Amino acid sequence: MSETEFVIEPGRQDIVITRVFDAPREVVFKAMTDPNLIPKWWGPRSLETVVDQLEVRPGGRWRFTHSDDAGVYGFRGVYHDVVAPERIIQTFEFEGAPGHVALETMTLEDAGGKTKYVAQSVHQSVEARDAMVQSGMEGGARETIDRLDEVIQSLL
């Protein structure tokens, strides 16, 4: 299994995550955009994910919820660009912190039968980015991407 790498540089507004998946881009893209597959990988294992809304197209909206014994947590955004199987540009907002919107660009690069996933998340300020990092985002993102890899492998 490939390792997930994070670039979180001091004083910057962005977070960059990379991972190489041992699968073609089309399979990775399907796992990332199929409403039946997303609950199998999106978020930590300890939380149940529900796809409330998913319109994977420019101008389309998405909303997912996580739930556990403590409550329900909503996440939402708008797709700005979708080019299958190469790129998705979308916003990301945790409903528990309204107004703190990040712009995410995810690219899937062909790497000779494998796929290099690169996700850049740009926050509104360095402080907003730092708050996201301090929230434990890295651990949750690492687990999420590991789970995505498991789903991708199950599709091969």
- From first to last of the 156 residues of the chain, give the pLDDT tens digit: 579 999 999 999 999 999 999 999 999 999 999 999 999 999 999 999 999 999 999 999 999 999 999 999 999 999 999 999 999 999 999 998 888 999 999 999 999 999 999 999 999 999 999 999 998 899 999 999 999 999 999 999
Burial of 41 per CB tally in 10 Å (0-12, 13-18, 19+): buried
- Specify whether the CB–CB gap between 87 and 72 falls below 8 A: no
| Domains identified in the chain and CATH numbers | 5-155 (3.30.530.20)
- Specify whether the CB–CB gap between 63 and 75 falls below 8 A: yes
- For the whole model, what pTM was predicted? 0.94
- Specify whether the CB–CB gap between 74 and 50 falls below 8 A: no
Identify the sign of the CA torsion 76, 79, 83, 89.
negative
